[in-house]
Amino acid sequence: MGQKKIFGIVLAGGEGKRLMPLTMDRAKPAVPFGGQYRLIDFALSNLVNSGITKIVVLTQYKSHSLDRHISNTWRLPAMLNSYVASVPAQQRLGKRWFSGSADAIHQSLNLIHDEKPDVVVVVGADHVYRMDFGQMIESHLESGLGATVAAIRQPLELSNQFGVIDVDPEDPGRIREFLEKPSNATGLPDSPGEILASMGNYVFDADKLVEAVVRDAEDETSSNDMGGDIIPGFVANGDCGVYDLNRNLVPGATPRDRFYWRDVGTIDSFYDAHMDLISTLPIFNLYNESWPIFSQQLNSPPAKFVRDSRGSTGTMIDSIISLGSVISGAHIERSVLGPWNKVESGSTVVDSILFDGVNVRPGAVVRRAILDKGVVVQEGASVGIDREHDLRRGFTVTDSGLTVVQKFGIVEP
């Protein structure tokens, strides 16, 4: 990156309606993930590991939990002039909130003016992946273009699920057209069975980003969205490049997880991403010491596994158990348990995700369920077994059969 001044902006104001009820009381980037992490930790870890240490997080929707997590966790050394700062909507341009991701940057241009960076990296806060942004910035600078979009290869048949990047066959590094969930996309010149899907991560020349968001704010027909308005504007001017994640080499990555990227915007995708963590050779490896995912260091004792009053030790298979949890004579399989869980004698937790402070009492059964913070499953109760029964009790059940119990919910026998 040479002597270029780099500034990071994390867009973290999303409401996350498709993740309800997990976002009922918190912003989407603040949703717990993988036991001890929050979703935003993945974006911030990638930026910091890439050497970007001046970062602002633009927040808006129910941001208290997110703001507190950033304040408690992301304290970079001030003597090195480094910081991660949570910046709420400030209404600098009038008494209104952010109307979109581009408007969030427009209303926060004072941050760019103060730092005077050469390059601005703009990333989302709700994806699970590893990426070295330093390599993308180098590619951007070499291209001479005003904007660069990070992209990941996906099967052609999934093109209607993504923003698809159509590259110029004569200049594969330049975007010819940006297509939103097309039904008739064509494959890549070097791989006809694949398309390039936008990852929602961008690199801009700072002055051109400022010009673009100011111009967008003056357009009354715009939806003020980065992917929907700003990037298509750069593409229309022939000033937008693409960076294929296939080119990105992250230290410590394995062939199995090197190109991993998950948009965890729905309950089902959120669940599937957790299941990717727990196999013997995980599809996404949390144990990469060369490119760690940073998070809050909990002041908690280790997890503890004890015999119950009957002398049963229980069983733990293919699962993640976080700090502070006590497992007493229970069976836990293919599950992810957050901090300070208590799973008691004779209970069963299978194919499930438990957030922090969940209590599964003796003889209870939890299957294919997500239990939010502080949920109590009463003695002998079950959840995730009977779809209609779960619906009658007011729990959320997805079309695939996943049951979600909201924060501090009680599961009665």
Q: Could you tell me which of 389, 391, 364, 366 has the C-alpha nearest to residue 379?
A: 364
142-145 own/partner pairs: CB under 8 Å, 24+ apart: 143/173, 143/174, 143/241, 145/174, 145/234, 145/239, 145/240, 145/241
- Angle (CA) 267-271-273 rounded to 5° is 120
Q: How many residues does the chain have?
A: 413
- Secondary structure of residue 154 in the 3-state scheme: strand
> CA 28 from chain center: how many Å?
8
Nearest Cα neighbor of 368 from 339, 394, 340, 405 is 405
Q: Are strands 163-168 and 37-38 parallel, antiparallel or unpaired?
A: unpaired
User: Is 198 known as a binding-site position?
Assistant: yes
Any known ligand binding at 181? yes
Question: What's the rounded Cα separation, in Å, for the pair 341 and 357?
Answer: 5
DSSP-assigned letter for residue 139 = H
User: Pairing between strand 32-33 and 37-38?
Assistant: antiparallel
Residue 366 and residue 331 in contact, taking contact as beta carbons nearer than 8 Å = no
Residue whose entry in the numeric block shows the structure tokens 């600078």: 141
The DSSP letter of residue 188 is: B
* Residue 180 annotated as lining a ligand binding site: yes
Chain centroid offset of residue 312 CA: 38
| Residue 300 labeled ligand binder | no
Which residues are CB-contacts of 299 (< 8 A; sequence separation ≥ 6)? Answer: none
Annotated binding residues for alpha-D-glucose 1-phosphate: 163, 180-181, 198
Annotated binding residues: 163, 180-181, 198
